[in-house]
Amino acid sequence: MKTSQQTHEQALVEKNQDLAILLEKKYGQWLGQRFFEVSSSAQSSVVHVKVTIRNADKSFFYPIEGRINFEDQDLGQQEARDFILDYIDAYIEEFLTGGEETYLPIDWANYDCEGLELQLRGQILNVKLEELADQLMGQSFLKN
């Protein structure tokens, strides 16, 4: 039997999957073979949201992360999650429609929107290449 926590977590996973589908419909013409993954969590008084644009082999992997202290901003947890998602959505639109030339900082940076403070970061990665390099380094290490 599922606990209420497990039921809540499953509902959040389903919401995130639905949101990823909506983003793919909204931005499909700019995605090519890429797709979205969405995750979110809350710890203490901080909500964290990650929207990743990626392709199947992870040669393009762009996690866009946002966080906000919802108690400091006088927001509810769900309201804070939605606020971050709206801000990330606006960034994604600018990124994709602007020729993918607008970037977030790699480290957490403060942003002010509608009088609320949040933090964002993002970095485009080639995870496929990084994994290949790790394998090569591991093989090289074993031979020495």
Q: What phi, psi does 72 have (nearest 5°)? A: -65, -30
The more confidently predicted of residues 140 and 102 is 102
The more confidently predicted of residues 53 and 1 is 53
Strand partners, 43: 46
Per-residue pLDDT for 104 more than 90?
yes
Report how far apart, in Å, the C-alpha atoms of 54 and of each of 31, 72, 132 are. 9, 33, 17
Residues with Cβ within 8 Å of residue 8, at least 6 apart in sequence? none
The more confidently predicted of residues 99 and 8 is 99
Are the C-beta atoms of 20 and 36 separated by less than 8 Å? yes
**Residue 3, Cβ density class (10 Å: 0-12 exposed, 13-18 middle, ≥19 buried):** exposed
Left if phi > 0, otherwise alpha if psi is -120 to 50, otherwise beta: which for 58?
left
Q: Tell me the pLDDT tens digit for each residue of 21-43.
A: 999 999 999 999 999 999 999 99
Per-residue pLDDT for 139 more than 70?
no
Q: Which amino acid is at 54?
A: R
The label of the residue with tokens 């992997």 reads: 61
Count of domains forming the chain: 1
The domain of 12 spans 4-143
Lowest-confidence segment of 12-16, 76-80, 90-94, 136-140 by average pLDDT: 136-140
Residues 27 and 38: their CA atoms lie apart, in Å, by 15
Per-residue pLDDT for 47 more than 80?
yes
Per-residue pLDDT for 86 more than 70?
yes
The more confidently predicted of residues 5 and 32 is 32
Residues 14 and 19: their CA atoms lie apart, in Å, by 9
Lowest-confidence segment of 32-41, 106-115, 119-128, 131-140 by average pLDDT: 131-140
Report how far apart, in Å, the C-alpha atoms of 8 and of each of 61, 87, 104 are. 28, 24, 31
Rounded mean pLDDT of 119-124? 97
Determine the Cα angle at 138 with ends 133 and 142, to 5°: 150
Residues 142 and 136: their CA atoms lie apart, in Å, by 10
Per-residue pLDDT for 144 more than 90?
no
